[in-house]
Amino acid sequence: MAEQKSSGAAQAPKKDLKTVKAEQKARRKTEKIEAKEAKKAKKANKRGFFKQIADVFKMTRKFDPSIIWWMVGAFVAALLIGLIIGLLTGSPVLWTLMFIPLGLLAAIIIMNKKAEKAAFAQIDGRPGAAGATLSQLGRGWVVEEDPVAVNPRTQETVFRAVGKAGVVLVADGDYNRAKKLVEKQRKHLERFLPNVEIRTVQVGHGPNEVELHEVKSTIKRMKKTLNRHEVRAVEQRISSMPVNNLGIPKGIDPNRMRPDRKAMRGR
């Protein structure tokens, strides 16, 4: 009996009905507050998305004031297509309403294209601008973040991308100096990759140069000469090449164009 009493005393007392109801009420209140905060956060994200679109539109309009007419033209063209289909099928209102989302999509696509061109225009002429263009190539391309060759005095740079079109070297800066720099890199790679297509692109505004915003499309149009496995093999082959032979002077940070103290400490 003594053991039963002691074990009963050790058990926690049962909660009465009033306490249980109070806890349930507090739990429901907490859940309601959390749901309201989540809803506010969702609305804030939506506002942030539309704010980003508005900011992109304002930035692009400063560079190209005609963007609004291009967007309106794309929207109206989509509505006209819907109207024509509707007249042919006997439901002009229905088809016109169906093409409103397509018109908005066409306008946004036009804005994105113009915004990309405006963004490249802002960095056009700066050292290393070609690297920003190559970063837009997307899947199927292996792009070096840092330039593979740099002229630290005059700031010409050469960037490299490896893909199904082979190895592409993109140079920017003064045409003659950049041409010598990229040709040196091309000949160097030919010794290691004798059977791989090595192409060169020079960024600029001259007759033999490619505009910065057209570099991506120019590379995308190049003839495919490698498959996925060959691209990987070429990249591995390049990775095994001596780093110091790629044209960047030891101890030079190409982004700052001055001696890198960390690289010089081991000397």
pLDDT at 27: 78
Q: How far apart are CA 56 and CA 169, in angstroms?
A: 31
Predicted TM-score (pTM) of this structure: 0.57
User: Residues 148, 246: contact at Cβ < 8 Å?
Assistant: yes
pLDDT at 84: 92
User: Residues 171, 203: contact at Cβ < 8 Å?
Assistant: yes
pLDDT at 230: 84
**Residues 6+ away with beta carbon under 8 Å from 158:** 147, 148, 149, 150, 169, 170, 171, 178, 181, 182, 185, 247
Interstrand relation of 157-163 and 142-143 (parallel, antiparallel or unpaired): antiparallel
User: Residues 221, 163: contact at Cβ < 8 Å?
Assistant: no
Per-residue pLDDT of the chain (267 residues; tens, 9 = 90+): 444 444 444 444 555 667 767 777 777 777 777 777 777 766 656 556 667 777 777 777 777 788 888 888 888 999 999 899 988 888 888 888 888 889 889 888 888 888 777 777 767 777 777 777 777 787 888 888 788 888 878 888 888 888 888 888 888 888 888 888 888 888 888 888 888 888 888 887 878 888 877 888 888 888 888 888 888 888 888 887 765 444 444 444 444 444 344 443 444
Q: How far apart are CA 47 and CA 248, in angstroms?
A: 46
pLDDT at 158: 87
With H, G, I as helix, E, B as strand and everything else as coil, classify residue 160. strand
Strands (E), 14-173: 142-143, 149-150, 157-163, 166-172
Residue 235, token pair as written in the block:
């990249």
User: Residues 155, 127: contact at Cβ < 8 Å?
Assistant: yes
